[in-house]
Chains A and B, each alone.
Chain A
Amino acid sequence: MSGPRQRGRVLVLLFLVWIGACSVDGPVSDQKFFALAPLPSPHEYGDVVIDHASREAGEDAVVFSHWSHRALYTCRVCHFELPFAMEANGSGISEKANRSGHFCGACHDGETAFGHTEENCSKCHTGVPADKESSFKKFRKSLKLPKGDYGNKIDWVAAERRGLIEPQKSILEPDFKLIAYNQEFEVSAAWSMISPAQFSHDEHMQWLECSNCHPDIFAIEKKGTQHFLMKHILDDKFCGACHTKVAFPIDDCKACHPSMKY
């Protein structure tokens, strides 16, 4: 009965079961874990190319730098108070909307920041990543920002804690007060040799609104979050929604897994 045809079927079956087991969070055997993509240079880390309708309208795409904005405003201002999506080109920004005070236009109105006027087009619509290296270095030096190891190579959290930058927490509520939710917890790693990750709500809440993460990215009960594995974080899920391209990148293992030895 066990001819080569049957054996072939069993092998195919085993292969499928193995693939199935891997994709439903079985043992992580994903080689990608160790093959992180090379990071852009510090002044380009967090840059986003936005091209909703720019090029169609004969204008260069916008290259948005997170670093110059996050020094002045927290993430919640743009991603909560203003309707900026977390993905490039997910927000439906238009020139008309900007000129009527929405999106970029909420600040870029000629008062808070330079306006959306003709002489300023090229400040944002730079097309290719503009050469911001010198302005980035000047900015980092003038504010004496603490050094980080990855990403922008700036320790933004420490910079905010030390008062070297004072990113505005709200542009809509003059007497905005943070909710004092400061629960900290430990997330044990799926691999036995990896030390647990330490999570601080307080550190995140200095920048974010609860709904930036809850309930879409993380359930509000620890056990309610399914598939929370490093391999998914690498795919921009969970922590990876911010910590692969804007917040310090996951190359910085120790920033989250402080007792890790490597």
Chain B
Amino acid sequence: MMRNGLLLVALAVVVLSQADADTFGTKKRTPKPSEYGNVVIDNHAARVDSDAVVFPHWLHRAKYTCRLCHVDLGFAMTAGETGITDEDNRNGLYCGACHDGTEAFSQEETAENGDVILHCARCHSGGKEVEFESEFYDFVEDLPRARFGNRVDWLKAEEQGLVELKDYLEGISIDRGSLQAPREREIAVEALGMPSIIFSHEKHTVWSGCELCHPQIFPIRKGEKVYDMQDIFDGSFCGACHGSVAFPNTDCRLCHTEDVL
């Protein structure tokens, strides 16, 4: 019996090490612009015999701030971590806060002739061919271009008024005055020759307010937490957004903007 167990363990070592062998030391596939920022949410879909939700960030960030969903509505920053249920949605939480038939389409609607139209597949689209109202390339056609991620310069799009972001939901958000964003900050880099990061609070607060980053991701006192670029690549600190949804960490010079001599 014990030997059989050992055999299994040895076999597992072989299988696991082979599986790992494929991923290290190679360049990862760059997602298509239309796929960048898509999140597959599959909390309970499989259990209730439904397909997983494929959530496109690009379509939502063109209409709402990050803060609205990730602070006011309480969406976690990791897929599957929120634990959304159908019941939650039907009670006006999470997706259901907007997808209520008024702000955005609801799970189902009743046509004029009394027929019930189900909209399940518009979100539960995993593995299906679904025709959406907004196709990516048509949607982004007139937006300023960028080189990475969705290849849309979202900041510029917002500045130019090409996208208008809603930051308030009746009954959910708190109506509050705006705060003056703190000054730009220079973040010196330890690695010799790497230009400093010039961090703009102003550019970030339009989308994230204060509370999306502080105090959980970044403490508010400078130097309180030491982090490095590998942490960011691994999805912590700036990497909580930059790498999966906000522009990826492909071009150093997008953040390390100090002049190079």
Contact = CB atoms under 8 A, between A and B. Distances in A.
Contacts, number: 108
Nearest to A6: B3
Contact of A181 (B11, B13, B192, B228): B192
Contacts of A13: 3, 6-7, 10
A226 B21 CA distance: 11
B10 A241 contact: no
Interface in B131-172: 147
A259 B14 CA distance: 36
A216 B13 contact: no
B17 A237 contact: no
B191 interface: yes
Interface stretch (B93-101, B106-114, B199-207, B247-255): B247-255
A217 B27 CA distance: 6
A220 B230 contact: yes
Point out which of B30, B193, B233 has the most chain A C-beta atoms below 10 A from its C-beta: B193
Contacts of B194: 179, 181
Contacts of A190: none
A232 B26 CA distance: 10
Contacts of A221: 228, 230
Contact of B260 (A10, A20, A24, A177): A177
B27 A241 contact: yes
Nearest to B24: A227
A85 B191 CA distance: 28
Given A20-B10, A179-B194, A215-B230, A90 B260 contact: no
A178 to B, nearest CB: 7
Interface in A211-228: 211-212, 214-221, 224-228
Contacts of B32: 92
B21 A81 contact: no
B180 interface: no
A23 B18 contact: yes
Given A177-B260, A180-B260, A226 B230 contact: no
A64 interface: no
A24 B21 CA distance: 9
A9 interface: yes
A12 interface: yes
Greatest chain A CB density within 10 A among B10, B230, B250 is at B10
A236 interface: yes
Contacts of A23: 14, 17-18, 21
A181 to B, nearest CB: 4
A10 B2 CA distance: 11
Contact of A216 (B27, B193, B252): B27
A24 B17 contact: yes
Contact of B252 (A6, A179, A218, A227): A179
Contact of B24 (A16, A19, A214, A226): A226
Given A182-B193, A183-B193, A215-B230, 8 more contacts: A13-B7, A85-B29, A92-B32, A172-B147, A215-B229, A219-B230, A233-B25, A241-B25
Interface of B: 3-4, 6-7, 10-11, 13-14, 17-18, 21, 24-30, 32, 147, 191-195, 228-230, 233, 249-253, 256, 260-261
22 contacts: A10-B3, A13-B6, A16-B10, A17-B10, A19-B14, A20-B10, A80-B250, A85-B27, A179-B252, A181-B191, A183-B193, A212-B27, A215-B230, A216-B27, A217-B27, A220-B229, A220-B233, A221-B228, A227-B21, A227-B24, A228-B25, A236-B26
